[in-house]
Amino acid sequence: MPARILDGTRIAADIKAEVAAEVSRLAQQPVQPGLAAVLVGNDPGSEIYVRNKVKTCRELGLYSEELRLPESVSTSGLLRIIDDLNSRNEIDGILIQLPLPKHVDAQRVLLSVDPAKDVDGFHPMNVGYLSTGRPGLVPCTPAGIIEILTRSQIPIQGTEAVVVGRSDIVGKPTAMLLLNANATVTVCHSKTRDLAGVCRRADIVVAAIGRPGMITRDFVKPGATVVDVGINRVSDASTFQRLFAGNAKREETFRTKGSVVAGDVHPEVAEVAGAMTPVPGGVGPLTIAMLMSNTLKAAKLRRGM
């Protein structure tokens, strides 16, 4: 029996509806959670991401600001802008759209964001809160992964989970969230010996490595849940054939656009997994939904609500 597909688009819509309802309730206080998105330069991908985030804020009733800065902005100039946002009470969340230009000290900029307004959950203080189980702001994609599992009634407590990838943005915080939910967690990476063997032990596999189709059926225990975080653009014909040969819809897309989006998990995994997230339509939609949820959470935490 093919794997149950976990519909991230539907779960994201549910979370957005819950956020909108809570924002409407807070308006009686009156409190309106606010998000400031800082965009440096003219990267087309970044512009689309920021536009979508600002648009979603408006749809859900959150206040939003988009600060567009020239590519030439200096580190000190950017720090002054963030300092101003830190001091403004109507701004509950500050989002610095990455990547920043090479001449900007990105680490220093991210550290300058008030941890109480760090809706990306990257500040060391929020990382510390997560690792010690205290209330704080959690990175959006890992938080979305947990929402997909819990809202799909997939048990976490007592399971064995393997996270493939150890990035600060996805791998490590996802492992910590699973650990906090009482899973037994193994974090794998490029130096892991017998990666397939380690993954085969898992009840839950989270693939976050950025390599298209690397997790094949040999990595997956029958009936396991597989969460695919990868978003890889495949334009190489041989890679496309390895992943999608015989998939008429994908073949048409590849023929007309010259590329397709693929996850880190090979489609054949659906033949052995019990449940899995698709790409697209799995983890991706949760990221913006959890950003909205984090902005609401920041507004309430800052006001002691």
Q: Which distant-in-sequence residues (6+ apart) come within 8 Å of 162 by Cβ?
A: 185, 186, 187, 188, 198, 199, 201, 202, 204, 205, 206
The pLDDT, as a whole number, for residue 227 is 98
Adjacency order of strands within the sheet including 63-69: 63-69, 34-40, 93-96
- Please state, in angstroms and rounded to a whole number, the distance separating the CA atoms of residues 2 and 268: 10
**pLDDT of 305 higher than 90:** no
pTM of the model: 0.94
The pLDDT, as a whole number, for residue 84 is 97
User: How does residue 187 score in pLDDT terms, banded at 50, 70 and 90?
Assistant: very high
The pLDDT, as a whole number, for residue 192 is 96
- Please state, in angstroms and rounded to a whole number, the distance separating the CA atoms of residues 158 and 301: 30
How, if at all, do strands 93-96 and 160-164 pair? unpaired
Which of 37, 158, 170 lies closest to 95, judged by CA?
Answer: 37
Adjacency order of strands within the sheet including 204-207: 4-5, 275-276, 225-228, 204-207, 160-164, 184-188
DSSP state of 265: B
- The fold of the 140-284 domain, in CATH, is Rossmann fold (3.40.50)
Encoded tokens for 105: 């000290």
pLDDT tens string 4-58: 999 999 999 999 999 999 999 999 999 999 999 999 998 888 888 899 999 999 9
The pLDDT, as a whole number, for residue 6 is 98
pLDDT tens string 109-154: 999 999 999 999 999 999 999 999 998 999 999 999 999 999 999 9
The pLDDT, as a whole number, for residue 42 is 86
The pLDDT, as a whole number, for residue 140 is 97
User: 69 pairs with which residues across the strands?
Assistant: 40
pLDDT tens string 75-111: 999 999 999 999 999 999 999 998 899 999 999 999 9
Chain mean pLDDT for the chain: 95
User: How does residue 216 score in pLDDT terms, banded at 50, 70 and 90?
Assistant: very high
The pLDDT, as a whole number, for residue 43 is 83
pLDDT tens string 262-297: 999 999 999 999 999 999 999 999 999 999 999 999
Same fold, 22-117 and 140-284: yes
Domain boundaries, the chain: 22-117, 140-284
- Please state, in angstroms and rounded to a whole number, the distance separating the CA atoms of residues 108 and 86: 15
Percent of the residues in the chain that have a pLDDT greater than 70, as a whole number: 100
CATH of domain 22-117: 3.40.50.10860
Any idea which residues carry the catalytic annotation?
A: 53, 97, 120
